[in-house]
Structure 1
Amino acid sequence: MTSQPPCLSMHYALTPRTFLYSHYFATGLRAATGVIGLTLLALAASDLRTAMTVCIGALCTSLMDLPGPLRHKFNEMLASVLLGTVLTLVISLCAPLPWLLFIVVALVSFLASMMLAFGRRGMPLQFAALFSMTLAMQNMLTPIQSLAHAGLFMAGGLAYLWYAIGLAWLLRRRIKEQVLAEALYELAQYVDIKAGFYDIHTGLDAQLVALIRRQVVLAERQQAARDLVLRGRRGASDQVLVQVHYAMLDLYELVLATQTDYALLRRQFADSEVLTWMRDLVAKAARDIESVAYAVTRHRGSLQKVSYTPELRALDEAISRMEGQPGVSKEGLDLLRSAYSRISGMVGTVAQLHRATTPQAGSLELVPSVDMTPFLTQQKYELGVLRDNLRMDSPIFRFSLRVLLAVLAGLVVAGHLPYASHGYWIVLTIAVILKPSYSMTRQRRRDRLIGTLVGCALTLLILHLTRSPAVLLACLFIATAAGPTFVTIKYRYTAVAASMQILLQISLLLPESGHVVGERLVDTVLGALIATVFSFVLPNWEYRSLPRLLRGVLQASSAYLAASRELLQERAENDFVYRLRRKQFMDSLAALSAALLRMQDEPASKRRAVEEIHQFVLKNYLVASQIAAIRLLLRNHAEALPRDAVNNWLEQACDQACGMLDQARRALDTGLAPRLASAPAAIHADSAWTGWPPLQRRTRMLEDDVRQVAFQAGAIGRALQQTG
């Protein structure tokens, strides 16, 4: 049997087959239709300059047009309209007085950047505010004209708000489907990486690193799906989406439980085809999950077309033949059987995922009395959050000061240019490139420079071929759609679109303004240089956040172990608390992993304990895998299970693990090596129960992983203390 190509080697929304069904394309198309449509309506009723002002208001508001709960979306877009209108008015009034403009722009830049204290949803609001500010800087208007200009901006923003909210309400199920499908696509990629563990030609460590990186993205996508699918009242039309969501989470836990001793499997069966068949089975499952995601985006039930029978039959026969063969240890054969059983279970769960896409699948709702709020993102915009960050050790405060200083430097440079009427592009470039972390700033700088160069070249080509307003409007529509489509998945494309969008707008307003293309390039380079210099001013290096993130992981791990013990011992009424603690643990692990990846992009002198943190993350991930595997093991060996003996064994194992996590927290704070107790004494195993050997092996693996977590915590603590 031959190996199959991987499920998806790139982001699913970048492949032609799935692009048109993604929420990224839908967002871009919605934004372009609204912005250009409102511009044309305004143009039909007034002159071009008035229409372009309405266009700017709609464009700034469209930056907040992102998938999300309808109520949150309305509040965020309304805040963007009101804030943008006030900034447009204030900046327009100050524009004739350069000294006053300097002060106001600096203050606005600082306050807008402080909005990042509100979390991920604060980032688009921050940029919308800075975008409104920079576009208003070019206006030299009288007070009456400034009021009229701000009024037109507000009219465009409000018109777009109602357009976007109305469309989101009409297409609310469609948006849920698209976001849920994205989580499924990410799960498919996660499973595809799992297939690589059975390939003897791939390194285990490299494969585990890739898995952890995918876990970071998967956690974000699953949370986005929760926020849309599980929030608010759910009607009959949402039944399928809820079913698919819960089936997806069940499959994810089962995939998590497939983690095993791959090194032993490779040593024992490197010359056999069993690993190849296992790899092909898991790779097939990845493509099967992808087909479910594709069906969900097309509002269809999914039919399973993948057959696993050849590999399953071949594996079953091969394992039977290996019994008693020389060179195959009993431990290795037991491990192979266990891996085969878990992969078979995963295949069956994928079939359940297919069935969940049809209304006949039956409800998979949790207990009706359960409040799902703890699983959902709680978005609060409170002044107290800003006040709490007004201190020098706050990363948000330091970033805001950095933006303030960089913008002031940009204004000084722009004031000395011979084409000062377009100097606001420098400030806009700074706002786009300068981000809270050094790694994000570096990536944005590279994408912005390349994107601007390509965008300017394409615009020159278009203007050389035609000056037809109809053609330019068509190109403007495409650029306006491409901007929001690729902003989070391929920002370089967004940078190309943004350059074309602004240059085409200027060409429509001022047909003889071909010189602005060169000015655009110069301003972008100057803005990038300034952003680069100021990325080293009051920097927020990632190592400063490591102690907080590490403690968060250890605390969440302890809570997860406690909830797991209650569930495994059948003392919990349901698995609600277990699922919640697992989510919190994986979220904390994802946050630490993301910080580690960002730190690796920073200068070498600013990196701390990279290898130790890397091992800390891997071992914590394995802890979650061992818990999931133990839960599956008890489910598969439920027959004749000696509950009291098993509970005693689990009690000792979990107490031991929790004690080691307590030692890990102390070791992290002190930098001293943890003093770990020896393993618990063995309990007499009831030979009549077949689950004893795998249970004891799993708990030993769990204790070994937690022990390594504690040792790595001590090593990290020493490294952080030695380097200050």
Structure 2
Amino acid sequence: MHYALAPRTLFFSHYFYTGLRIATGVVGLTFLTYAVADLPTAMAVAMGALCTSLMDLPSPLRHKFNEMLAGVLTCSLVALLVSLSSPVQWLLRTVIVLVSFLASMMTVYGRKAMPLQFVALFVMMLSSDAAATPLQALRHAALFFAGGAGYMTYAMVVVWRLRRRLKQQVLAEALYELAAYTGIKAGCYDMAIPLPAQMEKLVRQQSVLAERQQASRDLVLRGKPRDDEAVLVRVHYAMFDLYELVLSTHTDYALLRQHFAGGPVLPLLGDLIGKAARDIESAAYAMTRDRPSHADTDYRPELAALETALRALPPADSDEVNPQAVLRATSNKIRDMIAMIARLHAASGTDGGTLPMAPGSDLTPFLTQQRYNLGTLVANLRWTSPTFRFALRVAMAISVGLLSSEWLPYTSHGYWTALTIAVILKPTFSMTRQRRTDRLVGTLIGCVLTALILRFVHSPAALIGVLFVATAAGPTFLSIKYRYTAIAASVQALLLIGLTVPHFAGAIEQRLLDTLLGALIASFFSYVLPNWEHQHLPELVDAVTGANRGYIDAAEDLLLGRAADDARYRIQRKRFMDALANLSAALGRMLDEPAAQQRAPAELNRFTVQNYLLMAHMAALRLLLQRYADNLPHAEVEATLGHAFARLRGTLGAAQAEPAPLPGSTVRIAAWAGWAPLRRRLRLLQQDAAQVALCHGVIDAALGRTMHRSTSKTADAGWN
């Protein structure tokens, strides 16, 4: 379950704060306008505020201002054009088709542009509901702009005042996801759980974690931190150091299960990892409450029992595959992880001290850049562009929805049907399918709930209170449980009708029928000009391969001491994680598509897991060299690593000449305690690289490719 769905954590999350902020702003502006004007004026201002509020998402201040300003200007223009066209039916329908198409083309700019697409469609539908004279259209657009600008001003002031709180909440969310990720790792030591299924679950969670960590970077690391924000920077860096430690324990499950099944060791390891997950969660919990966390978790019973079990094992020999040595190495990593969690707690309570980054460090490669240029949009005005085909699909579906509503045997709210289509019809089939289910179930529950409210609650003040709650609940659950948002939206719409048109009968039944009609039309058009996931798999697979090679190069430079610091390593690791997350997300969406449109799902899943293992091996190598730094024979280790990386590139399809062997000292090698674990780690790294290459070949065959191609169609795949 998502952490924000639990009452214990919901009311301290940025989701709840966002919903409360939006409800206060929209309802407050509406009542303020109603106090000085009439109800139609107040409703027009409320519509502008409500539409602008849909752009009020957690973002850096500059990005938020640009996004909300774009929403206000775009939607005000749409409201004006549609209202001016409303008296002439053929002109109105032409404008609706054009607006639907152009609004949907904006999704070429990525996920951040999707709210703007929906807001533009929402405004278009509301503005087309009744014919207006030119003067009325100008007045309507002006009031809409006033409501949007008023809400934007309010939201920017509130977010600016609470910017540190927002950073805390987003950082805490990343910690919650790291805790969930660590908790899944605990299940890898449970013999009752199949390891492949748990590994798949782990990789899926890693994709979610990468997204939340990026959101944390964008807020915490952007700009110069204030004095009271330095603690957030320290916790952020401690979180990533902890993540690398957790990642490094990812490669030895199969061997440990094979040799220690049925004994006390595996349950002890699982219990320790589970406690660590809860310990990380406690740090996140304290962060959301604006207080330092403390290392209160007692690991001593499990550590003592594990130490007893380790002493009972026979001594490890020099064989690098010795399971006892692997177990002791895993135990050491878990101890390091516990120590790092203690550092995480300590960082949350440190007010002074230096920041964990060099002064003047360029953090731009780690941050999301906001780029909207007309060239990207124009470049996608072609038949082969998925965004272009999606835009055509939306324009056709909304046109059919509005036309169909005119043939219904009752006075239909045509915009309800069209709004359902806009909500359900998404760029991918799997997203459309999920939204359809959530919309139908949520609308049904919302209609029943509203009927009960209107039946038993008659006080206007009480109904306004329920309306406020519904207005807050909609944005609160938008990105974590859309079904709840659909319930809130139905309650909100029907209560507004009940408050403003008390004697309007049949609104609930009509809402249900219009939603059902919209869902049917959206479902039909999800098969029109389809955009199946397998069409983008070649680019995503190649992106993972390219990021893999860049990460290996950066890791080699770091491990061989050729890099002054680990900045390039961290950048390439982020790029590799992002590429894996994109492929993993596409694979998940593909599995929701018809079976005839699925390509090599098992091989793609294996390819993703094996690439993830490569990243874990690199993290383990780095920690291994740090652990065995005493008496390290630098020349011999560097020669071994150089040969290993050369073979690794050859296995992955980027072969190069191996370096000449360096003269080594047998005495020095024998005296170094890390020699056996290093050889074992490199052997496992080579084995997993071979599996990556094998999976890549099978995937190429399944996708009908005869060679690896490097593509750069980021404009087409930007919405993935």
TM-score by length of 2: 0.95
Partner of 1:291: 282
1:507 and 1:514 in contact (8 A); partners too: no
The answer to whether the aligner puts 1:205 opposite 2:196 as a matched pair is yes
Structure 2 counterpart of 1:139, one-letter code? A
1:279-428 → structure 2 map (5 Å cutoff): 279-323=270-314, 331-360=322-351, 362-420=353-411, 422-428=413-419
Structure 2 counterpart of 1:282, one-letter code? I
Is the alpha carbon distance of 1:621 and 1:371 closer, same or farther for their aligned partners in structure 2, counting shifts above 3 Å? same
Partner of 1:707: 690
Q: CA deviation at 1:238?
A: 1.2
Give secondary structure in 1 for the equivalent of 2:673: coil
RMSD: 2.0
Is the alpha carbon distance of 1:282 and 1:104 closer, same or farther for their aligned partners in structure 2, counting shifts above 3 Å? same
The answer to whether the aligner puts 1:196 opposite 2:187 as a matched pair is yes
2:320 and 2:676 in contact (8 A); partners too: no
Q: CA deviation at 1:681?
A: 12
Deviation string for 1:270-321 (max 9, x for gaps)?
1321111111110000000000001111111111110111111221121112
1:138 and 1:421 in contact (8 A); partners too: no
Select 1:119's aligned residue among 110, 117, 121. 110
Deviates most, 501-510 or 174-183 = 501-510
Structure 2 counterpart of 1:486, one-letter code? F
Partner of 2:671: 688
Structure 1 counterpart of 2:66, one-letter code? N
Partner of 2:29: 38
Select 1:444's aligned residue among 435, 446, 457. 435
Q: Distance in 2 between matches of 1:105 and 1:682?
A: 75
Partner of 1:168: 159
The answer to whether the aligner puts 1:635 opposite 2:618 as a matched pair is no
1:114-153 → structure 2 map (5 Å cutoff): 114-153=105-144
Deviation string for 1:6-31 (max 9, x for gaps)?
xxxx1100111111100000000000
Structure 1 counterpart of 2:619, one-letter code? A
Is the alpha carbon distance of 1:412 and 1:513 closer, same or farther for their aligned partners in structure 2, counting shifts above 3 Å? same
Q: Distance in 1 between matches of 2:183 and 2:352?
A: 26
Deviates most, 682-691 or 54-63 = 682-691
2:199 and 2:609 in contact (8 A); partners too: yes
Q: Distance in 2 between matches of 1:215 and 1:202?
A: 19
Any unmatched runs of 5+ in structure 1? Answer: 1-9, 665-674
Structure 2 counterpart of 1:653, one-letter code? A
Q: CA deviation at 1:324?
A: 5.0
Is the alpha carbon distance of 1:683 and 1:258 closer, same or farther for their aligned partners in structure 2, counting shifts above 3 Å? farther
Select 1:267's aligned residue among 258, 274, 283. 258
Q: Distance in 2 between matches of 1:262 and 1:412?
A: 59
Deviation string for 1:341-393 (max 9, x for gaps)?
10110000000000010124733421113200010000111101101111111
Q: Distance in 2 between matches of 1:398 and 1:607?
A: 20
Deviation string for 1:455-501 (max 9, x for gaps)?
11111111111333222211110110000000000000000001111
Partner of 2:466: 475
Q: Distance in 2 between matches of 1:175 and 1:352?
A: 23
The answer to whether the aligner puts 1:19 opposite 2:2 as a matched pair is no
2:221 and 2:363 in contact (8 A); partners too: yes
Give secondary structure in 1 for the equivalent of 2:56: coil
1:648-687 → structure 2 map (5 Å cutoff): 648-662=639-653, 686-687=669-670
Structure 1 counterpart of 2:689, one-letter code? V
Q: Distance in 2 between matches of 1:718 and 1:236?
A: 56
Partner of 1:500: 491
Structure 2 counterpart of 1:317, one-letter code? T
Partner of 1:78: 69
Give secondary structure in 2 for the equivalent of 1:656: helix
Give secondary structure in 2 for the equivalent of 1:356: helix
Deviation string for 1:536-587 (max 9, x for gaps)?
0111000000000000000000000000000001111000000000000010
Partner of 2:710: none
Q: CA deviation at 1:325?
A: 10
Partner of 1:258: 249
1:417 and 1:423 in contact (8 A); partners too: no
Q: Distance in 2 between matches of 1:538 and 1:329?
A: 55
Q: Distance in 2 between matches of 1:723 and 1:398?
A: 28
2:79 and 2:124 in contact (8 A); partners too: yes
Between the two structures, name the one with larger relative contact order (CA 8 Å, sep ≥ 6): 2
Q: CA deviation at 1:146?
A: 1.2
Deviates most, 92-101 or 289-298 = 92-101
Structure 1 counterpart of 2:99, one-letter code? V
1:243 and 1:363 in contact (8 A); partners too: no
Give secondary structure in 2 for the equivalent of 1:301: coil
Partner of 1:626: 617
Q: Distance in 1 between matches of 2:556 and 2:352?
A: 31
Partner of 2:713: none
Structure 1 counterpart of 2:610, one-letter code? K
2:412 and 2:510 in contact (8 A); partners too: no
Structure 1 counterpart of 2:153, one-letter code? W
1:522-601 → structure 2 map (5 Å cutoff): 522-601=513-592
TM-score by length of 1: 0.94
Is the alpha carbon distance of 1:292 and 1:347 closer, same or farther for their aligned partners in structure 2, counting shifts above 3 Å? same
Q: CA deviation at 1:525?
A: 0.4
Partner of 2:239: 248
Deviation string for 1:139-164 (max 9, x for gaps)?
22211111111111111111100000
Partner of 1:720: 703
Deviates most, 314-323 or 203-212 = 314-323
Q: CA deviation at 1:46?
A: 1.3
Identity %: 56
